[in-house]
Amino acid sequence: MPFDAAPAAGPTSLDAFLASVERRGFRMAELALGHREDALDAVQEAMIKLVGYRDRPPAEWTPLFWAILRRQVTDRHRRNGVRQKVMAILGRDEDSREDPLEMLPDPNEDPARRHADGAAWAALGKAVRRLPRRQREAYLLRELQGLDVAETAAAMGCSEGSVKTHLSRAMAALRIHLEQWR
């Protein structure tokens, strides 16, 4: 019996696909938003919305998921901006959103390495959040998520040339902001 078809390149069930992008989606959202809880909420909402498209072919799930997550991140940026303005009017500090359990040390990890890794991650997150929205999206989708140019263009709703331009500008800005980490 001849073997006519090659195995599928990606997950064929929606559950397997969501499991494969969950961690990467969280990391991207956390970098973009700067808060763990907001990132978890954004990824959860993106996954829920993707379930509505479960009848689409599996090849469309990747760019569709990243486009949905990108919109979730943008919406959360807007909401957080309004929340900060309201809190400023009320005279309350919104920066105390850190989870106290996150502050406990991990007994399985070297404290110096954990500190260095945390500092590097925070610096990258701060530099990424300084980028203009489209540059930030292009960087997160291409470099951190590993999408190709066509998938990134589909997720961002722009041309492949625009993706390349946004990514080039983002990389140049990040080189400047992260010079001390070289």
pLDDT one-digit tens code per residue, 78-115: 877 766 666 666 665 555 555 544 555 556 667 777 77
| pLDDT at residue 2 in the model | 41
Secondary structure of the chain as H, E, C letters: CCCCCCCCCCCCCHHHHHHHHHHHHHHHHHHHHCCHHHHHHHHHHHHHHHHCCCCCCHHHHHHHHHHHHHHHHHHHHHHHHHHHHHHHHHCCCCCCCCCHHHHCCCCCCCHHHHHHHHHHHHHHHHHHHHCCHHHHHHHHHHHHCCCCHHHHHHHHCCCHHHHHHHHHHHHHHHHHHCHHHC
| pLDDT at residue 8 in the model | 44
| pLDDT at residue 42 in the model | 93
| pLDDT at residue 34 in the model | 84
Q: How far is CA 182 from CA 16, 32, 120, 124, 176, in A?
A: 37, 22, 11, 12, 10
| pLDDT at residue 138 in the model | 92
In the chain (182 residues long), the average pLDDT of successive 10-residue segments reads 43 87 91 88 93 90 92 84 66 53 59 76 87 91 88 92 94 88 70
| pLDDT at residue 5 in the model | 39
Nearest to 142 by CA among 176, 123, 169, 122: 169
